[in-house]
Amino acid sequence: MMEVPWWKTAAGTGLGLLAIGLLAYQTCMDNSCIDQSDSFFLTNREDQPAPARHARDLPQKKYTFRPSTLERDLDFNISGTDVIVFLHMQKTGGTSFGRQLVTNMDLERPCQCRRGQKRCQCYRPGTDRDIWLFSRFSTGWSCGLHADWTELKDCVPDMMDKKEKQPKKRRYFYITMLREPVARYLSEWRHVQRGATWKTSRHMCDGKMPSEKELPSCFDDNWVGVGLDEFTDCPWNLANNRQTRMLADLSLVGCYNTSRVSQEQRNRILLGSAKTNLRRMAFFGLTEFQKKSQYMFERTFKLKFIEPFEQVNGTTAGRTPISEDKKRKVVELNALDIELYDYAKDLFLQRLERLKQHDPDYYDYVDEEVGNW
């Protein structure tokens, strides 16, 4: 067997260490998040399990976070130059949440939504040009269909300048919704089975789209009628660990070029980056906790929704019976997302508990028990 030249081995190892180093010293985008001092290391204390606690000392925490990470006290100014940027991941309830943002907000100047039009005009009070919300239902897919974190961070500032027709310094507050990974994956499979493709997504990274070699397609025109076995068997299926990939900085691992670092290193870097970006976002909600997500958003941004959110548990994914073997395969394919969601849920509920401790009116807004940790 031919030996691999020493310089190729060294180069590959060097790239992997460089990516890990970049992740370790990764900083937030200028004025885009709230924990600016929150540097990330692969052995970061905020990624470590919390010390064991007495059984009666509930709710049980899995991770330890800094107080600054748990605090939800932003100075978002809708009349200034602040912009909420909604990162919409497929099958996480983002469509419903996105509509709530443009149709259900109690604002001095509500978004103007006209029947038959897909977008609403969400201008600041006193202006007919300045925008406070960057999302599918306000600005459209301006940075690409279901643009991920990597695409948005490079695109949003320039796109906002174009839309407002002037360069301006703004603060960007990123938000997103996450969903339990197995249910999300099955929901995406059923959606693709019915004809969804998202073929026009650009997947921009470091200024370019991935080549066909870097990101082959699992189908030709569409994947209508695809069975679960075929869906899980395609190694390039972007449904696998979608939430981790869409929240991570893909430039840290060479974008879609999987030859830069080993798969193990790539997974480790992507998961670490996704956790960091999620932690630094101004807000994230969980599909399984609609009313709590509404409460968290309102307390974070000091904005109010007109009508309460509804929890819909009878989803297509929930009505999809699959064998234990197939479920095990789905779990294996989404191992990164499962760890990310576990981390996100713990952080979300710790933030909620902190808010609850300082809010005597909590149960007036959230009419459900906080015992589902």
Q: What is the tens place of the pLDDT at every residue in 223-256?
A: 999 999 999 999 999 999 999 999 999 999 999 9
- Cα 315 versus chain centre, distance: 20
pLDDT of the residue at 38: 38
pLDDT band (50, 70, 90) for residue 361: confident
In this structure, which amino acid lies at residue 350? Q
- The tokens 């297509």 sit on which residue? 316
pLDDT band (50, 70, 90) for residue 313: confident
pLDDT of the residue at 315: 65
Catalytic residue annotation: 146
DSSP 98-152: HHHHHHSEE-SS--EE-TT-S-EE-BPTT-SS-BSEESTTTT-STT-TT--HHHH
Question: Residues 35, 182, 366, 305: is their CA dihedral positive or negative?
Answer: positive
Q: pTM of the predicted model, to two decimals? A: 0.85
pLDDT of the residue at 182: 97
pLDDT of the residue at 26: 45
- Angstrom distance (rounded) from CA 151 to CA 57: 42
- Cα 30 versus chain centre, distance: 19
Query: Using one digit for the tens of pLDDT, what is the confidence trace for 253-287?
Result: 999 999 999 999 999 999 999 999 999 999 999 99
Cis peptide before 59 (omega within 30 of 0): yes
